[in-house]
Structure 1
């Protein structure tokens, strides 16, 4: 499988996606993440929640790795932000 094209500011977008995703998860009844949860665990949990809620499309089974999950989360938040948001410039 080919590597997804990296977005401009993808790392910052991922950080924002995790922040917004955590709030979304808590609104859905999730107790939240503790400070000891690893970033990769947060990414996978949020990715699976958003796929389950049909807010993002799942990666093909053979391409479902941490890198593609991070990319999908970054793309998701990029679509949620207003066009003039600093992270999209």
Structure 2
């Protein structure tokens, strides 16, 4: 898995956009005490269920790979020239 520049910030943005997407789909928002690990898994599974992202192989479905998948997803969603996409 290749390290992506600004990965932490991209993940934060992916969680923010993913929560907004989930709310539009009718899901209640996460509690303040909900860990990022749970948020990552829930948003990943929602995006896979809605066929927005391709699921990981079952033996690769773990925290770091889900994070990476969300980062790749948000990179494609951000407009060209966005500050987080700059090299």
TM-score interval (norm. to shorter): over 0.9
Structure 2 unpaired stretches of 5+: none
Equivalent residues in 2 for 1:1-89, closer than 5 Å: 4-89=1-86
Q: TM-score, normalised by structure 2?
A: 0.97
- Size of the aligned set, in residue pairs, is 86
Instruction: Give the gaps of 5 or more residues in structure 1.
Output: none
Q: Which has the higher contact order (CA 8 A, sep 6+)?
A: 1
Displacement over 4 Å in runs of 4+: none
* TM-score in terms of structure 1 length: 0.95
Separation in structure 1 between the aligned mates of residue 20 and residue 14 of structure 2, nearest angstrom? 10
CA RMSD of the aligned region, Å?
Answer: 0.5
- By how many angstroms is 1:83 displaced? 1.3
